[in-house]
A and B are shown apart, each in its own frame.
Chain A
């Protein structure tokens, strides 16, 4: 109802002002702004008052306003805007164009990315204050945001890949921002290499898709049409879908490439908020949604694989989040779990796309809020561990209340953002994939449980850390309040009772009508309540031993992250590093050295003979030439008196002589 009114008013305004139609043509500027800001910060940052941060904040602020204008176009019922791109280069029949493809999904992502990035930019003013590489931090932050916006707005796969890779590099730089500590730099390397492993299938997926179109285009919309056509090879499309999902697994940290994300918490907390809430990890989900045509036309088992991976990740990560002491790791595993939630939504098929992206949309706000809140806590107590916190409710009221809102939203408490998106996912799962419904429900219980645990351990009870924590400065609490407001409000965009306008913007093929199934909403709320209640009962009082240690075997497995990281190290990293290098060493000593020694013996015999010839004949000639040159030079050097006037005399004398010569010839 409200949405209908808004739409009517907006449509009337759009006709008179034409704001939205104007803004959407310039959507590409949003992606360009951070790329302009980055060199400005780099070159002029140290000389400007805010050490360059002001450029990034201005670019993102302008970008956010423009993104809202672009979204407004869709609020007023505008259609997809996909103009002809500018020709980049051509290889034979393959024409590569650079252009923008702006549909509802793009607009929503633009808003999410610019909003969260703006909040992070402002927040970092406080959090990174006094950092040794403050300016550099803002350069990379801007580049990173620009890369994500490029991924969002790109109309062809190669441009998308460019943004995708820039993002990978920037994430490496940001996670390893404090590279002085070995742990941080290895976390950065781990993140980079693990996502690279995903990038390889992605690249091959792009090749497969270009091949599927008959080597004519990389444009996403054209690829979609060509795949929907009758001549497309179904095996090729299936392969492409699997390969693309491989890329998404890497970037969105799904099982089995999820290992980088928890370690990526080594980066500064604002970076965690940016990477793990709105941008990099969302890029994988976005890719699947953007290329959904491929998944729809692929063999159905592809979506089954997607749903299985999503289920494994969401459950596994939720269990891990239960036992973490590092507050950022709780949030990191929660992010893994929630990303898998989104992927699960996408795995439901065309009907699940809206639900999956609605969860991405809401999750971006409250997860960014939680990360920034955690940053505020860490800033105050100088420790990541919840065992060093506690009782911060009174010292840090703003952080407490905003963190509480974020936690409740994540847990899915009515009527916060998380409730609506989770509910939509649960409804979709019940209708299309019932076993997945129970997995998601179980995860909902666990999510509520671990967030309750987290809140109780940090804000309630008695403070056990060192020093006296204080509330963070306004530049840090401001973004928290803004994101908290968003976390409350954005859910209503997808509320079925209010018309679920989100489904009119983001959908696959035809607008999605959100169903509201009353009993599912009740069950979802009960799940959240059960989790909160369970968490409250166990963690109401602070104890020396975590109550979950009552299950020592499970606790151990979880503390070791199911031994997956160890398995990777033992199965892949060490063999390559140790066994392979030992093998190389053996080959080196026995095979190569033998050959080398034999060759050396022969060579030595020959060399002795050649050396005799060399010394006697060749050297004689060379020495003679050298001696002659030396003697001549020794005589000629006396011409170089160092007296410039002698040189001038000779010069002019030479001119006169040459004149005479030329006149004689003429």
Chain B
């Protein structure tokens, strides 16, 4: 176990617990706050893996923007509290399936990447490296994404605005 692995263990534990809390919390606002923690731990994982730019973007966009959007969504819709109103009746089947998914994934991961594999040297993807690659090799997808965002922007406005006259 290296120092980075210890750090990762802590981050992963926090992230996993808060992820469970997100999907089990009885209060929707609490769930959103747990989501912040889970997303922060993912961001920390990125930083740990040397993905500097992706890590900060994760924190800025997700924690800063998307969670705020969720909170607005909760605010604009009546957010009931309590397990029976938040979860549906077949949640035990859901739990079973989710467990099955995790078991399957875990089996496949340890099958492909044995747990006693050599640790790898972290690749330091600095912002300049990311930027160069983004605007040299991925310009077209980048433009496509910007167009998608524009479309989503317009779409969201069209969907959410009140219809005049109705």
Binding site for B on A (CB under 8 A): 645-646, 649, 652-653, 655-656, 659-660, 663
Contact = CB atoms under 8 A, between A and B. Distances in A.
A645 B95 CA distance: 13
Contacts, number: 26
6 tightest A-B CB contacts, nearest first: A656-B100, A659-B104, A652-B97, A653-B97, A656-B104, A649-B93
A655 B101 contact: yes
Interface in B92-112: 93-94, 97-98, 100-101, 103-104, 107-108
Contacts of A649: 90, 93-94, 97
B104 to A, nearest CB: 4
Nearest to B98: A652
B83 to A, nearest CB: 16
20 contacts: A645-B88, A645-B90, A646-B90, A649-B90, A649-B94, A649-B97, A652-B97, A652-B98, A652-B101, A653-B97, A653-B100, A655-B101, A655-B104, A656-B97, A656-B100, A659-B104, A659-B108, A660-B104, A663-B107, A663-B108
Report whether over half of chain B's contact residues are helix, strand or loop; otherwise say mixed. Answer: helix
Contacts of A645: 88, 90, 94
Contacts of B94: 645, 649
Interface of B: 88, 90, 93-94, 97-98, 100-101, 103-104, 107-108
A108 to B, nearest CB: 53
A663 B104 CA distance: 9
B88 to A, nearest CB: 6
A107 B102 CA distance: 83
Contacts of B108: 659, 663
Contacts of B103: 656
Contacts of B101: 652, 655-656
Contacts of B97: 649, 652-653, 656
A649 B100 CA distance: 11
A646 B100 CA distance: 16
Given A646-B90, A656-B101, A656-B104, 16 more contacts: A645-B88, A645-B94, A649-B90, A649-B94, A649-B97, A652-B97, A652-B100, A652-B101, A653-B97, A653-B100, A655-B101, A655-B104, A656-B100, A659-B108, A660-B104, A663-B108
Nearest to A658: B104
Nearest to B105: A659
A646 B101 CA distance: 16
B1 to A, nearest CB: 30
A660 B101 CA distance: 10
B103 to A, nearest CB: 8
Contacts of A646: 90
Contacts of A660: 104
Contacts of A652: 97-98, 100-101
A655 B97 CA distance: 10
A652 B104 CA distance: 11
A610 to B, nearest CB: 55
A660 B90 CA distance: 23
A190 to B, nearest CB: 50
A65 to B, nearest CB: 43
A377 B52 CA distance: 83
A653 B95 CA distance: 11
A313 B98 CA distance: 94
Contacts of A653: 97, 100
Nearest to A659: B104
B65 to A, nearest CB: 26
A646 B94 CA distance: 9
A660 B111 CA distance: 13
Contacts of A663: 107-108
Contacts of A655: 101, 104
Nearest to A655: B101
A331 B143 CA distance: 64
Contacts of A656: 97, 100-101, 103-104
A663 B106 CA distance: 13
A661 to B, nearest CB: 11
Nearest to A654: B97
Which of B93, B98, B104 has the most chain A CB atoms closer than 10 A to its own CB?
B104
A663 B97 CA distance: 18
